[in-house]
Structure 1
Amino acid sequence: MIKNTLLILVFLGFSNLYAQELFIKTGKNSTTFDFSSPNKNPEVSYRSGSGNFYEVGYQWNLKTNKLAYLVSLTYNQFNASASYLTNSYSWETNYIGIQNVLSYKLYETNIIHVSLAAGFNTATIIRGDQFINTTYFDIKNNEEFAGILFQPGIGTDIKYLISEKISLSLGYNYSKAYNISNGTNEKLKFNTSQFQLGIHIPILIEKNN
């Protein structure tokens, strides 16, 4: 995961790119679990759960200034709950990952930029808790949750330029996360709507020809 991102950064370093900005984002994830298994009970009622997310990254603009590449370190909580008969279930999971995104600027004025973005995150779990009624289980090593999570997504954001030194953004992203290292018959996907608030700090660097 880290090696692939470093290779991308090396490639970008030799491309006709201009350093653009640092950014920090935070917000909320609303996640539902999509669980499939030969023994799945159709009467289990799954419900969405709320979690936090944090992102720190760097953005480069391409020469056209319409297209940009973003790479970031992410921390996501994917939580959900369910019930069956008299039992209640809840899951709280925490993932850290590296995200790669291409963003296209759809509309801009002197102070407002509207962009559409698509990309993917590769992540791994750092903590996983399951509660069945009042009983706690550590699920960090369970195959449905452990290993490598591949998370493609698409989203949009509106950026407001406060000054030449800082801007704020509001965004929305929808993603599906798949555990690509799970070799069992029980498969789990995370369907997540992410609501974002961002701070962006431009970094102006001239590139020598």
Structure 2
Amino acid sequence: MEIQLLTLQSNNLSKMRTFYIETLGFPLIAEDDHSFRIGVGSSQLEFTSKNVKRNPYYHFAINIPSNLFQEAKAWLKGKVNLLLEDDDDEAYFSFWQAYACYFEDPSGNIVELITRTKENPKSNSPFSIRHMLNISEIGLVVKDAPKVGELLKEFNIYERDNDPITNSSLSFMQDQKNGVFILLTGTGRRWLFSEKKSEIFSMKITLDTNITLGVDDELEFFVANSNYKVT
């Protein structure tokens, strides 16, 4: 699966637009009075101010070429302050053979740049915003993660290692091994490189498999395709 469109809420739309388009240089795809949409490689990312409750924040990750992590990190450090975990500004995940670094945007989202040496392609040109490959991960926080995990199986989306899904675990859900995941979890789990804990906020994920899922304005999970809907 690929994440075609990720729609997140924000109550700092003007600052977010300046940050993503002017500071980081993402291309603007569309905008209106209540939202703007940017291109993230083969994915699109939309922020909307409609029906915002409280101060929503999310965790999402962006894939970058497998050989450009240090270049990407240096590029990012020239624009934002990198987040730290145990005084380190990068992480190595041995089970993925992956490197990642993290930053916060004006809405407090925890954003990750990640390179997976097995899945992500290489590039021969110096790193730039054009090297963002796609949205790699999105944290999906729900009231009942085991129940949602069972519902996702009906759409052929499974935990990557078939491990048990609990409300306290972070379950990597996918339908193929291509470095794109829905990170399923319950509330109260600390996001890596942040002191923030997972909370439920409205969001929508549109996949290239004709599936739309997320959390509605009543903070309830939903998933549907053109022929079948589950809430």
TM-score, structure 2 normalization: 0.22
TM-score, structure 1 normalization: 0.24
The structure carrying a bigger helix percent of its residues is 2
The structure carrying a bigger strand percent of its residues is 1
Larger radius of gyration: 1
